[in-house]
Amino acid sequence: MKNRNYLITFLLISGLLFSCSSDDDFNYQNDFESSQKSWLSFKESSNNSYTYVVSGGSVFTSYGWETTITVSNGKVIEREFRYTTGAENFIPVDQLEWIENENEIGSSEHEHTSAFSALTLDEIYNLAEQEWLIKRKGATSYFASENNGLISSCGYTKKECLDDCFVGVTIKTITAL
């Protein structure tokens, strides 16, 4: 029942996300610039110290997950990962959730590929501008700033892709430390 509820929620959110207009008639540039200004204000007021939660999942596998990134003074100091749905019977217990501290992030000893990358919001805004929101043939870009004006969803999908096509980020929350 839990997996079914997750799948229904994921499909509804995907439907809302993908029902947005395409690049041809949706100008995200003003929204992005406004969000970027909000980010710079938040960055200053929080002393560039915050946490944010990236959520994701797969329609194909029915797994849901969250990665929490903690940034202090502009440097990632912790990355926490947990599966939220669907993985309990398929993923080893010791991999269902874990925490990496500053020295463990990205080390070969702790190769956790299922989690979102340990990026700062500066890096995410840069990826948004330089990679995810560029106009590409056969793809539709998306941008939303529902975290008090800060980025909440940014990326693109290729039009011919059928499953798990979104390339980008979905940020559930952003909180100052």
Q: What is the pLDDT of residues 129-159, one digit of tens each?
A: 999 999 889 999 999 999 999 999 999 999 8
Per-residue pLDDT, 14: 45
- Average pLDDT of the segment spanning 89-107: 81
**Count of domains in the chain?**
1
- Average pLDDT of the segment spanning 75-104: 85
Is 122's pLDDT higher than 70? yes
Per-residue pLDDT, 108: 54
Structural domain span for residue 99: 2-176
Is 121's pLDDT higher than 60? yes
Mark out the alpha helices in the chain (DSSP H runs).
Answer: 2-18, 29-45, 121-127
Name the phi and psi angles at 19, rounded to 5: -85, -5
- Average pLDDT of the segment spanning 38-65: 90
